[in-house]
Structure 1
Amino acid sequence: MLEELQRLQAHIGVLKTRLAHYESETQSLAEAKQQAEEQHHAQIVQRNGVITQKQEEIESLSEQLSTSQAQFQQLNQDATALADRYSRLEKSCTDLKNRFQELLAERNELRVIKEKLQNEQRQTLQNVQSLQQERERLLQKNEHAKAKVEAIIQRLAILGTAQDQHAQEIQQLAHPTDVSEEA
């Protein structure tokens, strides 16, 4: 029994050392656990801060995204409006180009007509000048003819009176009785 007691005491001693070892191990584990919990709590706090910061960043980025989407929609509307306006301007440009071509064609036609009218005017002026010269020549000829006719009339008048006297003399000689009756 003594042996057993000694053995039990030895077991108890081993158990006590084991117990002390386990207690120290438990205490170091508890300290490690406490440190781990503190670290874990610090990490949780840090991660919560990071999460909060990330959520704030997400909110900020969401606001930026909303703003960017609104800007994008506005830019799309502006681009559509500009495309429509460009299309209208391009059509207007084409219309203006066509109108310009028409105006050039009209200008060329008017130039041809102007040159034709200028030629006709020159010819008309030449005709007027030649007609005026002809008129002057005819007026001079007419004056000359008038002068001749007047000279002829004067000569005939002179001749007529002389012939009248001769005719009366001849008549008197041919019909002496008629003349005496008249007298």
Structure 2
Amino acid sequence: MLEELQRLHVHIGVLKTRLAQFESENSDLREQRDSSAEKHEAQLAEKNSIITQKQQDYDVLTEQLTESRSQFQQLNQDATALADRYSRLEKSCTDLKNRFQEILAERNELRVLKEKLLNEQQQAKQEIQRLNQESERLTQKNEHAKAKVEAIIQRLAILGTAQDQHAQEIQQLAHPTEATEEASS
């Protein structure tokens, strides 16, 4: 009976060990599953943001295409209406084409300038933020130094008072007759 109890105790110990191993493996697997789910969600969010950006780009391009088609149709209507006047207006058409190219070039230059200004603005904001943080850090450092100086001044004042008392005691010990005369008067 005792042997059976001991065997059962040993089996229970083995079972507890296995149970602990299985629980550890189970928690590891859960952590891996949670980690995989988080990675998947992060990737999904990233892909969704890319899709959103591409959709916005597509919408902008579609709008530009619509505008360009509209301009193209208008130009075709104008060309049809002005076909009989073509010979007189050929020079004007050339001038308009040149102007259109200049406008496109100016537009491109303005876009580049806009991007440059946006970058400079962002850099300026970052610099302002960095300077504000530096200012806060220096203010805190200044306040900390001020508190230290005030503490040192207080300690020196206390130390000075204590030294004055010690000096008087030393004088009384060195010249006991003067101390007695001062005490009697």
Report the TM-score range of the alignment, normalised by the length of the smaller protein.
0.3 to 0.5
Query: TM-score if structure 2 supplies the norm length?
Result: 0.44
The structure number with the bigger radius of gyration is: 1
Query: TM-score if structure 1 supplies the norm length?
Result: 0.45
